[in-house]
Amino acid sequence: MADPMPDIKSIARKALDWPARILFPPVCAGCRRHVSQPGVLCGACWPKLRLLERPWCPVMCTPFTHHMGEGFLSAEAIADRPPFERARAAVAYSGVARQMVQGLKYQDRTDLAPWMARWMLRAGAELIEEADVVVPVPLHWRRFFRRQFNQSAELARAVSQLGGLPFAPSAVRRVKLTRQQVGLERREREENVRAAFRVPEEAEIEIAGHRVLLIDDVYTTGATVRAVARALKKGGAGTVDVLTFARVLPGDFRADESATI
């Protein structure tokens, strides 16, 4: 005879969930319309989300219009080889993806981080499988004090939990209070974050010889993650991969895009 306890427990859990659903009904992660369960998009927002899919550049994740052959690199990867090994992003930074990033970053929508991280796990499955430790792009302590949270750390924490990987939020430190990247051109962004990051001596053991998975919310020009990757490798990391929720695709960059800092 089947044990009735699992069904009883399931019914009890659903009963306990009802008050929360009445007081805090689940809303669309994009437009905040009511939906059936937390973390999903409504029928109007889903078509506005562009998932990044293969074929893409194996280094930069830049999508190709058709399969170019195994190991074929984008012009960006050939002309300016990055200090990280591979970059992956879940979605293009447009439409509802942009709304989600800005909701997390500027509207304290930290509830979005676990759902955004699930899409990141899908896009970066190979990176997560090979990673030893998850590290977020850090905020300077003054900016963290004002904002009270780091959106990259929220995503990284969720990725580490879902992927079963160690989380090292203090492995790299922002030692220079940089300007906001909004409004800066590509070269200005690179100069803005030059020498802005350092691995403290006490954290070197967390990354020494390891494959680090660096997490950020948006890959815009790559200036920030390049600077952090250099700092991690200088601090002893074996290799660095980059995983972000969104990616500004080549040709789409505008200096007024919301930054990753």
Give per-residue pLDDT as tens, 64-82.
988 888 889 999 899 989 9
| CA–CA distance, 15 with 10 (Å, rounded to integer) | 9
Regarding predicted confidence, which is higher, 164 or 144?
Answer: 164
Q: Measured between alpha carbons, how far is residue 128 from residues 2, 10, 68, 250 in Å?
A: 39, 32, 25, 25
Among residues 194, 120, 192, 183, the alpha carbon closest in space to that of 151 is found at 120
Mean predicted lDDT score pLDDT of the chain: 85
226 backbone dihedrals φ, ψ, rounded to 5°: -65, -45
Regarding predicted confidence, which is higher, 237 or 177?
Answer: 237
* Each residue's pLDDT tens digit, 153-208: 999 999 999 999 999 999 999 998 776 666 677 778 878 788 889 999 999 999 99
pTM: 0.84
Sorted by sequence, the CB contacts under 8 Å of residue 144 that are 6+ apart come out as 150
Confidence of residue 246 (pLDDT cuts 50, 70, 90): very high
Regarding predicted confidence, which is higher, 32 or 197?
Answer: 197
